[in-house]
Amino acid sequence: MYFVDRSRIEEILNYMDSILNEVKNSKPNSYLENLGFERAVQVLIESILDVGNMMIDGFIMRDPGSYDDIIDILIDEKVLPAEEENNYKTFIRLRKKLVNEYTNSNQEALNSVFHDNRAVLDQFSKHIREYLDNELNVANAFSNEKR
């Protein structure tokens, strides 16, 4: 039987959705707004990676070897559609700049990557919830079988 902490996943997805809604048309105009936008993007990336890892662990999928591998596994397991692979990977690759190269931030590139991938990011929660609904309902159907 799987152990999937759906309430924790939902908490992260709801937070992600609220951030996406907050920054949907964001075009930071000040240093402070840029810092806030960078933080929002970083939290979105961490959310995708955290939820991805929880799905992989909870449904006993193969172990990821990198951040890109998390996306590969979610695609292989039909959690995310294959046509969105490059969008997620491009967005997640911003993490290195935000975490390790934060003194050299390129605000225009960050804004561009975010807005170019916004439509796909908006679908992440939907894909996760649909997979959870389908898989957990199947697991529940088997656990409630009458013998």
Domain boundaries of the chain, sorted by first residue: 6-141
Rounded to an integer, what distance in angstroms lies between the CA atom of residue 32 and that of residue 13? 26
DSSP H helices in 4-117 = 6-22, 31-58, 67-76, 85-92, 94-100, 107-116
Residue pLDDT, tens place only, 99-115: 999 999 899 999 999 99
Residue pLDDT, tens place only, 87-98: 999 999 999 999
Active-site annotation holder among 95, 118, 129, 147: 95
Q: Indicate if 95 belongs to the active site.
A: yes
CATH architecture for segment(s) 6-141: Up-down Bundle (1.20)
- The average pLDDT across 49-60 equals 95
- The average pLDDT across 26-53 equals 96
**pLDDT at position 47:** 99
Q: Could you give phi then psi for residue 93, rounded to 5 degrees?
A: -65, -15
The model's pTM is: 0.91
**pLDDT at position 57:** 94
Percentage of the residues of the chain whose pLDDT score is greater than 70: 92
**pLDDT at position 10:** 98
Query: Which value, to the nearest 10 degrees, does the dihedral of the CA atoms of residues 125, 131, 136, 139 take?
Result: -170
Nearest partner of 107 among 29, 18, 44, 43, judged by Cα: 29
**pLDDT at position 50:** 98
**pLDDT at position 138:** 60
Res 147 pLDDT > 50: no
pLDDT band at 146 (very low <50, low <70, confident <90, very high): very low
Identify the H or E element spanning 27: none
CA distances from 118 to 18, 88, 89, 121 (A): 13, 10, 13, 5
- The average pLDDT across 39-64 equals 96
Q: How many CB atoms lie within 10 A of CB 95?
A: 16
Contact status, residue 36 vs residue 105, Cβ threshold 8 Å: no
